[in-house]
């Protein structure tokens, strides 16, 4: 029975299915993901920032990033830049989306809006801590691929796990790229 599984979400989550929402709102809620990743790197904020904003280099150090293609240049700070990203994952599927940079605050914040297989917003936040850097990535998106939308009610925990695996590898890859230690990584908690 699926209903107990759906109701096992955390107390802070809104109820998703049942009489509380019409079917289309329930489906939208199951397609929506708000994911947070934390990395703590033994590197200065400037080094981490330079690696994060050099997205064309991500495929060299981030195992699941297959391609980054610049579609439109941004201003001198990179605001307005539009790039297409192609990702794989631990699960056997790929995602592609275009992301436009909407805000750049060097060296602490980078935000963008995604459209494609996933649509929504992403935000990098960096904060120095002594000689190390704490990184937080917020990814708030909805799935747009028809098969993902149909299976989202069943596979939402797997999609969340998959995102955490991709982001964990990103933290490890960035640490290797910078020649430093990844002091800690924490992904989004499982719903429920």
Residue spans of beta strands (DSSP E) within the chain: 32-41, 65-72, 82-87, 95-105, 109-116, 118-129, 132-143, 182-186
Cα–Cα distance for residue pair 51/80, rounded to 1 Å: 19
* pLDDT at residue 124 in the model: 98
Contacts for 50-53 with beta carbons within 8 Å, 24 or more apart?
51/174, 51/177, 51/178, 52/110, 52/124, 52/126, 52/135, 52/174, 53/78, 53/104, 53/110
Which DSSP state fits 8? T
* Residue at 80 is within a domain: yes
* Residue at 4 is within a domain: no
Residues spanned by the domain of 77: 30-186
- Number of independent structural domains in the chain: 1
Check: CB of residue 174 under 8 Å from CB of residue 39.
Answer: yes
* Residue at 78 is within a domain: yes
Q: State the pTM of this model.
A: 0.82
* pLDDT at residue 16 in the model: 36
**Residue 28: pLDDT over 90:** no
* pLDDT at residue 190 in the model: 59
* Residue at 114 is within a domain: yes
CATH number for position 155: 3.30.530.20
**Confidence tier at 12 by pLDDT (50, 70, 90):** very low
* Residue at 153 is within a domain: yes
pLDDT in tens, 109-159: 999 999 999 999 999 999 999 999 999 999 999 989 888 888 877 788 888
* Residue at 64 is within a domain: yes
**Structure-token pair, residue 116:** 């494609």
The SS3 assignment for 181 reads: coil
* Residue at 138 is within a domain: yes
Q: What is the mean pLDDT of residues 24-51?
A: 83
Residue, of 109 and 32, whose pLDDT is higher: 109
pLDDT in tens, 114-128: 999 999 999 999 999
């Amino acid at each position: 029975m699926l209903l107990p599984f759906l109701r096992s979400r955390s107390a802070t989550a809104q109820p998703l299915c049942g009489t509380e929402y019409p079917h289309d709102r329930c489906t939208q809620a199951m397609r929506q993901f708000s994911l947070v990743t934390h990395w703590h790197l033994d590197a200065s904020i400037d080094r981490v920032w330079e690696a994060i904003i050099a997205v064309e280099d991500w495929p060299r150090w981030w195992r699941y990033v297959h391609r980054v293609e610049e579609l439109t240049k941004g201003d001198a700070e990179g605001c307005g830049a539009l790039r297409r990203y192609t990702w794989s994952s631990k699960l056997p599927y790929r995602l592609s989306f275009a992301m436009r940079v909407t805000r750049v605050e060097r060296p602490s914040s980078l935000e963008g809006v995604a459209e494609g297989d996933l649509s929504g917003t992403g935000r990098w936040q960096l904060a120095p801590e002594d000689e190390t850097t704490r990184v937080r990535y917020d990814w708030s998106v909805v799935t747009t691929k028809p098969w993902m939308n149909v299976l989202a009610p069943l596979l939402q925990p797997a999609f969340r796990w998959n995102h955490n695996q991709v982001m964990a590898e990103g933290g490890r890859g960035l640490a290797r790229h910078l020649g430093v230690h990844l002091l800690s990584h924490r992904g989004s908690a499982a719903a429920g």
